[in-house]
Chain A
């Protein structure tokens, strides 16, 4: 069991993070505010360990303290090092630290990558070992219960998309989308790309529309996965311009595909505040994350599309999107291309990360029943994560 667990983690956690490490430099990955608060609250002169520090996004907080980061992933650790942080490479089940040397320990979005309960308990015990009595530990893990969507099971594989494909097809970015369309559509795609795409253009063959649908759906799916997985990783920075544009695009695109297009609805979206977009988006997302290993269907077979209504809807959107140059995503070409070369992919080509998502109370129960040296002080739900703050206490052994 141990060997299998370890191998699963190697394939679907370690290798994936190594591949996606370069993308973690993105400013999209902000720090959780409550974690920042926890760190800021530590006394000056505190020694703090960030176990599974990734690219070190918490290591700069509270300069009055000394922080040590560690992670299994070399590229991420190197990235943190380049920012001037003290970091090392190690495995979180075998921490290279002496007993009770830290005043505080962080474990943010790490333990959910362990594939057995026993290993998750060991990870917590190992961190508790390095924490001094009276010191505090903060643990964040992905929650099974999300506000608008639910995981079907606790052990899941989540695809990771570097960045969502850009919408407009009439510029260079569309080449990226076209690369992901399979061979038989390629000719159609090339034809379409050279066609002048005016909003009121008459000559549209059904094959052209057919190719569009594939693109639509790939884009939609990719964007969904991307937003979903990134929103769990960190605070989806809604104030960020990049995200705003992305979500605008998605909500417009999605709404028009799902409903018969009415100019009124479209206008509503345009006039409505940004948060309306978000709530529309969430309602339409309906992303239920199946275990992707059992997901066998061809992406195209899932499409149920009324060509005519989509065609007019698409034309309208097309028109709009061409004037919005902010939709260009220059990473898109590379990411689409590299994705196609990688093994172990979901249908739309992303890397699969393994997660054990936690049910309400599960993390607390794990600590209370298996880690007597930790006393849970505070447990809460924070934007798709179950969180615990626990204090190290003396355990008297008789």
Chain B
């Protein structure tokens, strides 16, 4: 599970407040780092689509925060240095084994072989 994927994920357990299921807290037991070809335009276009705070939080929990800024720098589209760091965090860091925890309900979703299992039980389905 890459961090770009994680940024889209939320918990929908019954009873969770609207928006309360995001972002899922990562507890990783196995993390992999890959080499992925850098595509500047692609990364620049992704940035407005991600929840920046959630991305920082996730990167930090995996020890890959490096020196990503808290705020987006102005005119980041042309800032290759910055974009390379974002590229690394979004696409090169993968959680292979671990748990995603709902911040509201505490419900844990396992990640196995890089695959998150987001299935809810019947009781949890809204």
Chain A residues with a Cβ under 8 A of chain B: 43-47, 64, 66, 68, 70, 72, 77-78, 81, 86-91, 93-98, 101-103
- Tally of A-B Cβ pairs under 8 angstroms: 75
From B60-68, B79-87, B116-124, give the one contacting chain A. B116-124
A97–B8 CB distance below 8 A: yes
When distances are taken between beta carbons in the complex, the residues of chain A under 8 Å from B35 are none
Cβ 8 A contact of A45, one of B45, B109, B113, B116: B45
A98–B41 CB distance below 8 A: no
A88–B42 CB distance below 8 A: no
How far apart sit A237 and B120, CA to CA, in the bound complex (Å)? Answer: 38
Known A86-B1, A101-B8; contact A47-B116, beta-carbon cutoff 8 A: no
Known A88-B115, A90-B118; contact A97-B45, beta-carbon cutoff 8 A: no
When distances are taken between beta carbons in the complex, the residues of chain B under 8 Å from A98 are 8-10, 22
Per-position contact with A for B21-50: 1 when CB-CB < 8 Å, else 0?
A: 010000000000000000101101110010
Chain B residues with a Cβ under 8 A of chain A: 1-2, 4-5, 8-12, 22, 39, 41-42, 44-46, 49, 109, 113-120, 125-126
When distances are taken between beta carbons in the complex, the residues of chain B under 8 Å from A78 are 113, 115
A68–B118 CB distance below 8 A: no
How far apart sit A68 and B8, CA to CA, in the bound complex (Å)? Answer: 10
A94–B12 CB distance below 8 A: yes
27 contacts between A and B (CB under 8 A): A44-B42, A45-B44, A45-B45, A64-B39, A64-B42, A66-B4, A66-B46, A68-B5, A68-B8, A81-B115, A86-B5, A87-B115, A88-B116, A88-B118, A89-B115, A89-B118, A89-B119, A90-B118, A91-B125, A94-B125, A94-B126, A96-B11, A96-B116, A97-B8, A97-B9, A98-B8, A98-B9
A94–B115 CB distance below 8 A: no
A44–B115 CB distance below 8 A: no
Q: Which of B9, B109, B120: most chain A Cβ within 10 A?
A: B9
